[in-house]
Chain A
Amino acid sequence: EDKVVQSPLSLVVHEGDTVTLNCSYEVTNFRSLLWYKQEKKAPTFLFMLTSSGIEKKSGRLSSILDKKELSSILNITATQTGDSAIYLCAVRLNNAGGTSYGKLTFGQGTILTVHP
């Protein structure tokens, strides 16, 4: 059974702290790993990672994939209260026929709370 596990499940920090969120996966036919941020409404896309060791960066957020360790981390530096959200990790698989129609398997999510 394909599995995506995130840790920690929740995290409380103060503004200015740096946080690292973890995502590990046990899946067959890995294609890519995606990170989403979910505030009160719809999850919004952050990063897609397909190659090991290549960091993706957007402002204070960065992420990297380690295919050997079957994991990814999402770093947030100098956290702000606006970073409070649920962070979702998802893995896209290939079907045996080579296509997956974009189907994703999600982890449980990490709830990040940033206090002023």
Chain B
Amino acid sequence: DVKVTQSSRYLVKRTGEKVFLECVQDMDHENMFWYRQDPGLGLRLIYFSYDVKMKEKGDIPEGYSVSREKKERFSLILESASTNQTSMYLCASSTPFAGAYEQYFGPGTRLTVT
């Protein structure tokens, strides 16, 4: 079974802090994604990566950056956390093998910025 893990289930940070959210997948997937999920807005794509050191902006990249130094690990960075970044953050991975592309999700990190 594909396993996607995220470093924390719950996180509380102060405004202005630098925040790192880590995601690790164990299936050698090429593609990795970071989403945020807010009530009534569904999942919105922040950034994705299709290879090591390669990244592309999603729909809402402002205030975030990412890092992918190894294939299995994709990090989301909030350079200076703000209260409007309080949300559920979901990481996902996928592979183009067999043209499937279905995404496998981690359990999520609920981030509260005070």
Contact = CB atoms under 8 A, between A and B. Distances in A.
Nearest to A31: B101
Given A41-B107, A41-B108, A42-B90, A106 B50 contact: no
Interface string B40-75: 111111001010000010100000000000000000
A103 B35 CA distance: 11
Given A101-B31, A101-B48, A88 B108 contact: no
Nearest to A34: B102
Given A88-B42, A109-B42, A45 B102 contact: yes
- Considering residues A43, A44, A107, which has the most beta carbons from chain B within 10 angstroms of its beta carbon? A43
Interface in B86-105: 90, 94-96, 100-105
Interface residues of B, number: 28
* A interface, size bucket: 20 to 34
Interface string A14-54: 00000000000000000010101000011111001000000
B105 A102 contact: no
B31 A102 contact: yes
B43 A88 contact: yes
A105 B108 CA distance: 18
A6 B100 CA distance: 23
Contact of A42 (B4, B96, B102): B4
A44 B3 CA distance: 12
Given A42-B108, A105-B45, A106-B35, 17 more contacts: A6-B42, A41-B108, A42-B4, A42-B90, A42-B105, A43-B105, A45-B104, A48-B102, A88-B43, A101-B30, A101-B31, A101-B48, A101-B96, A102-B95, A102-B103, A106-B42, A108-B41
